[in-house]
């Protein structure tokens, strides 16, 4: 399915008409600053501060001041999502936590907490910093990116569109699942997952992640929260920015770094490897030597089970949309083992002349038309 969509582009993100729930007392009222420093000290009801979905209590005014100076450092990590399953997983309980390296993490169950504590380092992705790049490898890397642009449709075709919309639909145990993802030329991201039950008595479950130039939020239909956790923003980018078009759009950005890493193999096929660092993430692109076509990519992060690994994706099916080559399906490996069904096989592709204003709105605002 190939289509061109024209609509009004809206740069502001809207949470209008979405219910923001009352903040919940976290950590059984313990002072989070002291907790991070290894001490369980009860906070005072007259020294409270709310951030996102949680209310924190402090034992002293100086601790409250330290928290306000850097709430991401002293508050619950990953926006309260389960530390065993990852920053984009389900919510953990504010009364089930651990402190790891001086930071507070929540868990959805006791089993998740035990699993995390058994080997915490495999569940946390370290911040990816760009490596030192020589001038020769930088020039060679950009030359290969230029060849990739030609292989995927050319400068005119690629730069003429402003957004890419991808859709996948499938059924599992009578429930149907629809995943929609939009990436924009200026760096906007939207990922919306909708689970529809087999009977009307059961509730539809919607989850929408949005990252625009103005703000970022998670909307679950009846509740919504601003995303401020760096780990959540990194994971959202990591999941959405694995499309060749995203890297080709970014090639002229000042923060875009390309490094030629030499020849290699992708599933017994010869490739040329180009490392790309952009928006805080490092990805290795695997290019066809003859044409520069991006045959796959490698990146380090989490899959559905939450464990940090290096993944290699090989694109296996393509679609030509308005002269731009876009991958639909991919096989995914970690080490030498294939992981069937770990990542999405897209069924529909749309190149967008303009991104619809509804893309970056909250779920309830769409339902009410506000």
Instruction: Tell me what pLDDT residue 204 has.
Output: 82
What residues does each domain of the chain span? 2-10+129-368, 24-123
Fold of 2-10+129-368: outer membrane lipoprotein receptor (LolB), chain A (2.50.20)
- pLDDT for 8 equals 27
Q: Within 10 Å of residue 101's Cβ, how many Cβ atoms? A: 9
Chain centroid offset of residue 189 CA: 9
Residue 285's Cβ-count burial label (10 Å; 0-12, 13-18, 19+) is: buried
Mean predicted confidence (pLDDT) in 160-178: 87
CA–CA separation, 239 vs 46, rounded Å? Answer: 41
Residue 90: predicted pLDDT: 81
pTM: 0.82
The mean per-residue pLDDT over the stretch 11-19 comes to: 40
Q: pLDDT higher for 283 or 231?
A: 283
Mean of pLDDT values over 281-286 = 93
Query: 104-158, pLDDT tens digit by residue?
Result: 999 999 999 999 999 998 888 776 666 677 999 999 999 999 999 999 999 999 9
Full 3-state SS string of the chain: CEEEECCCCCCCCECCCCCCCCCEECHHHECHHHHHCCCCCECEEEEEEEECCEEEEECCHHHHHHHHHCHHHHCEHHHHEECCCCCCCCECEEEEEEEECCEEEEECCHHHHHHHHHCHHHHCCCCCCCCCCCHHHHHHHHHHHHHHHHHCCCHHHHHHCCEEEEEEEEEECCEEEEEEEEEECCCCEEEEEEEECCCCCCCCEEEEEEECCCCEEEECCCCEEECCCHHHHHHHHHHHCCCHHHHHHHHHCCCCEEEEEEEEEECCEEEEEEEEEECCEEEEEEECCCCCCEEEEEEEEECCCCCEEEEEEEEEEEEEECCEEEEEEEEEEECCEECCCCCCCCCEEEEECCCCHHHHECHHHHHHCC
For the segment 49-74, the average pLDDT, to the nearest whole number, is: 94
Q: What is the pLDDT at residue 132?
A: 73
pLDDT at 370 over 50: no
191-195, 267-271, 275-279, 362-366 — which is least confidently predicted? 362-366
């Amino acid at each position: 399915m190939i289509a061109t969509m024209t609509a009004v582009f809206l740069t502001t993100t809207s949470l209008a008409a979405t219910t923001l729930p009352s903040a919940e007392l976290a950590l059984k009222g313990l002072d989070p600053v002291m907790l991070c420093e290894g001490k369980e000290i009860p906070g005072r009801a007259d020294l409270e501060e709310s951030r996102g979905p949680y209310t924190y209590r402090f034992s002293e005014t100086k601790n409250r001041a330290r928290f306000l100076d850097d709430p991401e450092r002293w508050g619950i990590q990953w926006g309260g999502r389960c530390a065993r399953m990852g920053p984009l997983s389900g919510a953990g309980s504010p009364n089930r936590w651990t402190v790891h390296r001086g930071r507070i993490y929540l868990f959805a169950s006791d089993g998740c907490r035990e699993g995390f504590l058994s080997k915490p380092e495999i569940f946390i992705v370290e911040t990816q910093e760009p490596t030192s790049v020589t001038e020769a490898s930088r020039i060679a890397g950009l030359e290969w990116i230029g060849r990739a642009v030609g292989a995927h449709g050319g400068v005119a075709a690629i730069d003429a569109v402003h957004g890419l919309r991808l859709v996948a639909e499938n059924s599992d145990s009578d429930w149907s699942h629809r995943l929609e993802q939009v990436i924009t030329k200026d760096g906007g991201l939207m990922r919306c997952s909708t689970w529809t039950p087999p009977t009307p008595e059961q509730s539809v479950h919607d989850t929408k992640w949005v990252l625009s130039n103005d703000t970022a939020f998670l909307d679950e239909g009846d509740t919504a929260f601003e995303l401020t956790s760096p780990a959540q923003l990194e994971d959202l980018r990591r999941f959405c920015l694995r499309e060749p078009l995203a890297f080709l759009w970014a090639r002229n950005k000042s923060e875009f770094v390309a490094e030629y890493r030499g020849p290699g193999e992708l599933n017994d096929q010869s490739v040329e490897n180009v490392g790309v660092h952009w928006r805080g993430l490092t990805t290795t692109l695997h290019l066809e030597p003859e044409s520069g076509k991006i045959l796959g990519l490698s990146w380090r992060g989490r899959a559905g089970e939450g464990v940090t690994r290096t993944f290699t994706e090989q694109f296996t099916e393509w679609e030509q949309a308005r002269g731009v080559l876009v991958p639909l399906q991919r096989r995914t490996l970690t080490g030498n083992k294939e992981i069937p069904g770990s990542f999405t096989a897209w069924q529909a592709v749309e190149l967008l002349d303009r991104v619809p204003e509804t893309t970056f709105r909250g779920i309830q605002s769409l339902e009410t038309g506000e």
